[in-house]
C-alpha cells in the first residue's frame, strides 16, 4: 500500500509540465533553484512551490549553501515509476500475445 501511495505522489508530481522540465534539466546535473527557474515565466515563489513538490515526493534533493539552494535529481525514485511501467508493459504484452494467438487460431480453424 505504501508503494501505491508513493507512486500516486510521483505521478502527481510528474503530471505538471514545469516539474517534468525540472526533472529533465536535473538529469544533466545539479542546478540552483535560480538556474532552474530562469526559463519559466513564473515568479520565483511560484517556482519554489514546484521545487517543494518534487522534494516532498523524493524526486529531488536540495542542499543549501549560504543563500543558494542546489537541487539534485534522486534517480532512485524514478525507478519506482520505471518498475510500475515495466509491469504494465508486461501485462499488456501478455494480453496482446493472447489476442494474437486467438486470432491466429480462429484463422487456422477456418
State what percent of residues in the chain have pLDDT above 70: 96
Domain range spanning residue 54?
2-109
Tell me the C-alpha distance between 88 and 40, whole Å.
Answer: 33
Q: How many domains does the chain have?
A: 1
The per-residue pLDDT for range 17-33, each reduced to its tens digit, is: 999 999 999 999 999 99
Contacts of 48 (CB under 8 A, 6+ apart): 33, 37
What pLDDT sits at residue 23? Answer: 97
Domain CATH code at residue 10: 1.10.10.10
Would you place residue 87 in the very low, low, confident or very high pLDDT band (cuts 50, 70, 90)? Answer: confident
Here the cell at position 70 is 542546489
**Cα→Cα distances 29→6, 18, 73, 75, Å:** 24, 17, 8, 11
Amino acid at each position: 500500500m505504501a508503494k501505491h501511495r508513493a507512486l500516486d505522489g510521483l505521478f502527481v508530481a510528474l503530471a505538471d509540465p514545469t516539474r517534468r522540465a525540472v526533472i529533465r534539466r536535473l538529469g544533466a546535473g545539479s542546478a540552483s533553484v535560480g538556474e532552474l527557474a530562469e526559463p519559466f515565466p513564473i515568479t520565483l515563489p511560484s517556482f519554489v512551490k514546484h521545487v517543494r513538490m518534487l522534494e516532498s515526493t523524493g524526486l529531488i534533493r536540495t542542499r543549501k549553501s549560504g543563500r543558494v539552494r542546489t537541487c539534485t535529481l534522486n534517480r532512485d525514485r524514478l525507478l519506482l515509476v520505471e518498475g510500475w511501467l515495466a509491469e504494465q508493459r508486461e501485462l499488456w504484452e501478455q494480453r496482446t500475445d493472447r489476442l494474437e494467438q486467438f486470432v491466429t487460431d480462429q484463422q487456422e480453424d477456418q
